[in-house]
Structure 1
């Protein structure tokens, strides 16, 4: 089976889930509670833009959140560290694969320290059990840039889209026909960071001025110079009106381009 990769979702750390939801929803988003992750002691809220979505993540159970290890849980571990440090920012992105075993083996061959493939689950507010397979990359990339993590859902894209529409999770937004177009990474060495992500995602790097760009389906990962060594901003297209939103260190830019 051919390995197909896509940008599944973006994980954002927040310290108060209700406060973050209220802020973004007041700006024309439609975040709704997602449910609890019992193993990690975390909970989330989600907003969908087609199958691509944003996950606001916070701690629900401090005792559980303090004890799970970094190994095999790097993205969630970083989010919990941010919670206890009072930091609100974008963590990383999840990449959806249609063949998680093949993706896992390929990244091992690249020399990355990849965690075990594990089965995940959460119960949404309606009582529906959501299940998936995922793995995290234990290695940090150049200049300690967090790596993406990988997920495979229990049904194919068409079935998931249909189910999410039936649940009312894929819907229009008051701010417009929004969709995530770009992730902006500020890194000390954008050329090397883009090269590493290119190998991970099996896509070419395009240089535009001082930026290095990877296309992933109809979206882009943009690596440009900055000292944060983080994913610092999401750019949306389809907004009714242009806007720049900031919540903690979380930056959204809304453009009225189609």
Structure 2
């Protein structure tokens, strides 16, 4: 069963500005750090089992040079859109998952090594996997992450840094709402990819719900994240 790892909000604001201005249930995000290879940086707000990432461009030339799927989507969306855009699901074994997706007929990015340098200079490492898609107005599939550290070890580090407080752990991402042009089509596509049954217009993960709503918006995107007290 998949778990939501994080949702991504594309913004033109800097992480320090986000950390000052944004507030959810009385809690401010923290500055995350830099993705030096991608030319981006982020702010983060953790909840009980997932988090929100505000992602923005720090080095435009470096961002333009990268072929990373998420950064290509960031550049495309920021031409006319700031807001929630994509999301990431956790996996314990991306190599195995990649083989499974290929067997199912999907083309993938392959497993991508990734890292972020924190404000203290520490380097955090993980792996990522994307389903190959055109970068356009259609809804991007979720992407996948495998952290270098075990979950409890990672959460304990976040607690010790003050990024994951008891107040943060009282929050949960209850529901993610996607605006799409054809609900039935998107439900079928995502249900097949994630091997999840549908119930009405909803897919149920172990720590959140995905809800698909018909819309005439130009872009099909994640549009609303429902955060509640756990």
- TM-score normalised per structure 1: 0.81
Q: Give distance in 2, aligned partners of 1:49 and 1:140.
A: 31
Q: Give distance in 1, aligned partners of 2:53 and 2:2.
A: 19
- The answer to whether 1:38 aligns with 2:70 is no
| From 38, 60, 75, the counterpart of 1:80 | 75
Report the 3-state secondary structure (helix = DSSP H, G, I; strand = E; otherwise coil) of the residue aligned with 2:45: strand
* Structure 1 residues 22-61: Cα deviation after superposition (integer angstroms, max 9, x where no partner): 3313862321111111111000011100230110000000
Distance 1:153 1:26, change over 3 A: closer
For residue 54 of structure 2, what is the aligned residue in structure 1?
56
| From 167, 171, 196, the counterpart of 1:178 | 171
| From 182, 200, 203, the counterpart of 2:193 | 200
* TM-fit CA distance, 1:82: 2.9
Aligned residue pairs: how many? Answer: 227
Q: Give distance in 2, aligned partners of 1:27 and 1:219.
A: 18
Q: Give distance in 1, aligned partners of 2:103 and 2:186.
A: 19
For residue 6 of structure 2, what is the aligned residue in structure 1?
9
Whose relative contact order is higher, 1 or 2, with alpha carbons under 8 Å and at least 6 apart? 2
For residue 228 of structure 2, what is the aligned residue in structure 1?
237
- TM-score normalised per structure 2: 0.90
For residue 97 of structure 1, what is the aligned residue in structure 2?
91
Contact map agreement 2:63 2:71 (CA 8 A) in 1: no
- Where in structure 1 do 4 or more consecutive aligned residues deviate above 6 Å? none
- The answer to whether 1:128 aligns with 2:122 is yes
* TM-fit CA distance, 1:133: 0.8
Contact map agreement 2:11 2:83 (CA 8 A) in 1: yes
Q: Give distance in 2, aligned partners of 1:91 and 1:108.
A: 25
Q: Give distance in 2, aligned partners of 1:218 and 1:66.
A: 35
Contact map agreement 2:129 2:145 (CA 8 A) in 1: yes
* TM-fit CA distance, 1:93: 0.5
* Structure 1 residues 192-222: Cα deviation after superposition (integer angstroms, max 9, x where no partner): 2112111222211101xxxx11111031000
For residue 225 of structure 1, what is the aligned residue in structure 2?
214
Q: Give distance in 1, aligned partners of 2:164 and 2:94.
A: 25
Segment drifting more, 88-97 vs 154-163: 154-163
* TM-fit CA distance, 1:5: 2.4
For residue 203 of structure 2, what is the aligned residue in structure 1?
214
Q: Give distance in 2, aligned partners of 1:117 and 1:204.
A: 26
Q: Give distance in 2, aligned partners of 1:107 and 1:195.
A: 16
Structure 1, unaligned runs of 5 or more: 239-257
Over the residues paired in the alignment, what is the CA RMSD in angstroms?
2.2
Q: Give distance in 2, aligned partners of 1:140 and 1:234.
A: 24
Q: Give distance in 2, aligned partners of 1:165 and 1:199.
A: 36
For residue 253 of structure 1, what is the aligned residue in structure 2?
none
Higher strand share: 1
Q: Give distance in 2, aligned partners of 1:27 and 1:179.
A: 11
- The answer to whether 1:163 aligns with 2:152 is no
* Structure 1 residues 168-215: Cα deviation after superposition (integer angstroms, max 9, x where no partner): 1111449x93211100011111122112111222211101xxxx1111
* Structure 1 residues 108-152: Cα deviation after superposition (integer angstroms, max 9, x where no partner): 2222221021111111111211000112222259x7211111110
